[in-house]
Structure 1
Amino acid sequence: MKEDYLKIIFELGGSHKKVSNKEISLGLGIAAGSVTEMISKLADEGLVVHEPYAGISLTAKGQRYAAELVRKHRLWETFLVDKLHYNFADVHSEAEVLEHQTSDRLAEALDDFLQHPDHCPHGGVIPSANGKFPDVSHRLLAEAADGETVVLERFLDNHELLTYLEELHLRPQDEVRVIRHEPFEGPIVITKDGNEHKINVSYKAAHNIFIK
């Protein structure tokens, strides 16, 4: 469970900025109260810094740990999709098990075998063996303005989310136009590839999709 929090904070940009309890809660699909409790434990272990009313960020120690977990997880996701032809929405739980059994040596061999992929199937960056990774956008689809055209960069690594987006036929690198934000935490209405067909993306999902 601790690892899930570190990975989601990493994905939300906690290496570079402060993320909120609400963002973590939406990303993990759990109550905000549970987030507060775990963040306190992570802070006690020196893995995160929590500034009340400002947000949560990873310490250098937390970032190293998170980058290692994310690297192994995403290498396995890439292997499962590219080599074993898994559906990209179905690899999270398999990779979750495999990452904990993966030594640094095995991760290196897997990386070599896959010819050093930059991104996993849902668009997330794969950190290098020394924990380095390129900057990525941390702007959410929910933050896009009505009428704006954006590219879907990556999706949070969540089975329910990825299955939902698969059903909507949305993938990383799709170009979409934001039509409107429905009120009262309603869906974000978008169109894709210049098509007039409207797609409703739920409020929660729109907070788990990153755009550029």
Structure 2
Amino acid sequence: MSPIKEDYLKIIFELGGTRVKVSNKQIAISLNIAAGSVTEMVNKLLRDGLAKHEPYSGVTLTAKGARLAKLLIWKHRLWEVFLVRKLGFKLSDVDQEADVLEHVTSPKLLKALDKWLGYPRHCPHGGVIPGKDGHYSRESHVVLNDVKDGHTVAVDRFIDNRDLLTYLGDIKLDIGDVVHVVRHAPFDGPVIVHNLTDHTKLTIGYKAAHYIFVRPVKK
């Protein structure tokens, strides 16, 4: 399988494609590519039996596609843990390196790496690491942009996108931060939030707010 096709499987999985329908627009924005290219690759995934598509609704992974995606995610996120924890890489720099390493990781190396790292269950940007049995705790698929004004949520994970992670690093939004949504600016404007963890006010771009996943705050 080509690295490009693997990247599509990963991003569909990361966007919730085992449980919800993922649009071509979501995939295009996440991978920073043209919508036409997404349509072409999605059609290839359909022909290979790796995905299912519902017109005007979106794409989901088949059981076969989900199995392959979980394996790829396992490799990718383990290397991200290694790069951040052991080599001190910045979060925004690990995705490209992990992409290279995952494609040359044998099953033997993967298991040894997992054991050496202590079987981590989350990567540095909050994503769940499926593990060798393929089971994983459910990830949040609620994005910040969909949280109503006046609600308070905790930041759960970020999409694995270098530009996004660089941007979030610049505005100092971290995994685990608790934010209160003040308002959504009209006409696809930014989301204004109070970061209750750092006691700061943040203006988060419309596009970025679609790739910050959040969870309810436990009372």
Aligned to 2:132: 129
How do 1:111-150 and structure 2 match up within 5 A? 111-150=114-153
- Checking the alignment, whether the CA contact within 8 Å between 2:18 and 2:61 is kept in structure 1 is yes
Q: CA deviation at 1:122?
A: 0.2
- CA deviations 1:122-161 (Å, max 9, x no partner) are 0000011122211111000010011111001000001111
- CA deviations 1:79-125 (Å, max 9, x no partner) are 01011111111111110000001011111111101101010000000
- Please give the alpha-carbon distance, in whole angstroms, between the structure 1 residues aligned to 2:14 and 2:198: 30
Aligned to 1:201: 204
**Structure 2 unmatched runs, 5+:** none
- Please give the alpha-carbon distance, in whole angstroms, between the structure 2 residues aligned to 1:109 and 1:194: 37
After alignment, is 114-123 or 177-186 more displaced?
A: 177-186
Aligned to 2:9: 6
- Please tell me whether residue 160 in structure 1 is matched to residue 163 in structure 2: yes
Aligned to 1:27: 30
- Checking the alignment, whether the CA contact within 8 Å between 2:150 and 2:180 is kept in structure 1 is yes
Q: CA deviation at 1:31?
A: 2.4
The 3-state SS of whatever aligns with 1:91 is helix
- Please give the alpha-carbon distance, in whole angstroms, between the structure 1 residues aligned to 2:204 and 2:107: 38
**Pairs aligned (count):** 212
Aligned to 1:105: 108
Aligned to 1:44: 47
TM value normalised by structure 2: 0.93
Q: CA deviation at 1:194?
A: 5.9
- Checking the alignment, whether the CA contact within 8 Å between 1:9 and 1:24 is kept in structure 2 is yes
- CA deviations 1:26-83 (Å, max 9, x no partner) are 2222222221111111101111001112211001110011111110000000001011
Q: CA deviation at 1:205?
A: 0.6
The 3-state SS of whatever aligns with 1:107 is helix
Question: Following TM superposition, where does structure 1 have runs of at least 4 consecutive aligned residues deviating by more than 6 angstroms?
Answer: none
Judging changes above 3 Å, is the alpha-carbon distance between structure 1 residues 194 and 111 closer, same or farther for their aligned structure 2 residues? closer
Amino acid at match of 1:44: R
- Checking the alignment, whether the CA contact within 8 Å between 1:26 and 1:207 is kept in structure 2 is no
- Please give the alpha-carbon distance, in whole angstroms, between the structure 2 residues aligned to 1:85 and 1:194: 24
Percent identical among aligned pairs is 55
Aligned to 2:77: 74
- Please give the alpha-carbon distance, in whole angstroms, between the structure 2 residues aligned to 1:75 and 1:163: 20
The 3-state SS of whatever aligns with 2:145 is helix
- CA deviations 1:154-199 (Å, max 9, x no partner) are 0000111101100011111111111111111111111112666321
Amino acid at match of 2:147: A
When the two chains are superposed, the root-mean-square deviation of aligned CA atoms in Å is 1.2
Amino acid at match of 2:162: H
